[in-house]
């Protein structure tokens, strides 16, 4: 005699997956919508919550196209739009006030936390990175609105900062961390793939940025993938050859 089959199987409708563990369900209720400010310290960089009174002027100076000089290196004048701002939501900025207004929207975001990325050896700001689009109810968060001054190129800063943010997010209990960028931003896409994010596809006509239509490339890392990616990033932090690429 053939045993009766569940109605869902007979109808061709798949059964639902098992519920998440109780501890994960609790985190959905306890993680705040606005991420809690924290300082993250790595081998090469230190991420501190963005303080506009302290950081805005310096961040503008290293991202407006003017020459930049650090104790151990310097860069000549450069095209700020090409090297930093082209694929971001705003910029370049003519003055500190305009940049401060832009950064203030990130400070005020109800679901985000901006960091000033500092070079650990000199304590000088070199860029900005954000936790954003935070959705605790689904245990997912995004790394975005990331940019670095060209003075940070090939220092390992981007890899170290990404490592710190991923490590912190998964330690808090997130199941998914996203990385999204303009589909035309080839350098950002290479950076995501080089660091180990998984490409999920392109969402067409996703946004309008600077009055232009934008298709968005989606990347992600899941919690069960993090241990292998963590080892991969640790190996990459040996030879510091990454190229910090702006991404939105």
Q: For the segment 105-145, what is each residue's pLDDT rounded down to a tens digit?
A: 999 999 999 999 999 999 999 999 999 999 999 999 999 99
Nearest to 129, CA basis, from 148, 109, 154, 155: 148
Mean pLDDT, all residues of the chain:
93
Segment 36-42 mean pLDDT: 98
**Predicted TM-score of the model (pTM):** 0.91
Question: What is the pLDDT at residue 10?
Answer: 54
- Residue 243's pLDDT band, with cuts at 50, 70 and 90, is low
- Residue 13's pLDDT band, with cuts at 50, 70 and 90, is confident
- CA dist 211 and 209 (Å) reads 5
Look up tokens 């605790």; give the residue. 136
Write out the DSSP string of 21-37.
PHHHHHHHHHS-SSPPP
The phi, psi pair for 202, rounded to 5°, reads: -115, 125
Instruction: Specify the range with the lowest mean pLDDT, choosing from 12-16, 44-48, 161-165.
Output: 12-16
Question: What is the pLDDT at residue 3?
Answer: 57
Domains of the chain with CATH codes: 33-236 (3.40.630.30)
Is the pLDDT confidence value at 38 over 60? yes
Question: What is the pLDDT at residue 57?
Answer: 98
Nearest to 209, CA basis, from 144, 139, 153, 158: 144
Cβ atoms of 59 and 99 within 8 Å: the answer is: yes
- Residue 229's pLDDT band, with cuts at 50, 70 and 90, is very high
Question: What is the pLDDT at residue 238?
Answer: 75
């Amino acid at each position: 005699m053939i045993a009766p089959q569940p109605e869902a199987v007979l109808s061709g409708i798949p059964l639902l997956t098992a519920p998440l563990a109780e501890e994960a369900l609790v985190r959905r209720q306890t993680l705040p919508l606005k991420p809690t400010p924290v300082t993250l310290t790595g081998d090469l960089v230190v991420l501190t919550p963005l303080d506009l009174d302290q950081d805005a002027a310096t961040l503008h100076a290293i991202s407006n196209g003017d020459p930049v000089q650090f104790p151990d290196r310097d860069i000549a004048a450069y095209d700020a739009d090409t090297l930093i701002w082209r694929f971001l939501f705003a910029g370049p900025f003519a003055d500190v006030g305009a940049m401060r207004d832009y950064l203030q929207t990130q400070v005020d975001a109800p679901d985000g936390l901006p960091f000033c990325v500092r070079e650990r050896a000199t304590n000088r700001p070199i860029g900005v990175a954000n936790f954003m689009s935070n959705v605790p109810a689904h245990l997912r968060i995004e790394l975005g609105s990331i940019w670095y001054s060209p003075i940070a190129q090939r220092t390992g800063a981007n890899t170290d900062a990404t490592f710190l943010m991923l490590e912190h997010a998964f330690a808090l209990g997130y199941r998914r961390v996203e990385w999204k960028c303009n589909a035309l931003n080839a350098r950002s896409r290479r950076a995501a793939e080089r660091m180990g994010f998984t490409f999920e596809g392109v969402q067409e006509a996703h946004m309008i940025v600077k009055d232009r239509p934008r298709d968005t490339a989606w990347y992600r890392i899941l919690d069960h993938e993090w241990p292998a990616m963590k080892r991969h990033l640790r190996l990459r932090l040996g030879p510091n050859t990454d190229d910090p690429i702006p991404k939105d």
